[in-house]
Amino acid sequence: MQRLDALRFALAGAIYGAGCVALATIFALVGVPGFKPFTDLLTQFYGFYGYSVSPLGIVIGAFWGFIEGFVHLGIFALLYNLLLGRQHA
């Protein structure tokens, strides 16, 4: 099995996370059904850090989505590589 490039995997997760939060915020702003409950949760998590369902909230939410995606998928890739290494030992 191949090892993951942790930095590239983390960057892919960061871009994905930023895109998801930004798109959800945009869809909630224009009134697409089903996105308001999700953005309400985002407001609970990121509201203290400036997030809201607003044009500025798109940017702030994308920033936090980028950070979380980077950290979460970076840790995932590092753990995967660690466990893969132990399998071959």
* pLDDT tens digits for range 53-73: 999 999 999 999 999 999 999
Q: What's the rounded Cα separation, in Å, for the pair 46 and 16?
A: 17
Longest Cα–Cα distance in the chain: 54
* pLDDT tens digits for range 4-18: 999 999 999 999 999
Radius of gyration of the chain (CA): 16
pTM as predicted: 0.88
Rounded mean pLDDT, 34-61: 94
Contact 51, 24 (CB under 8 A): no
Q: What's the rounded Cα separation, in Å, for the pair 42 and 77?
A: 25
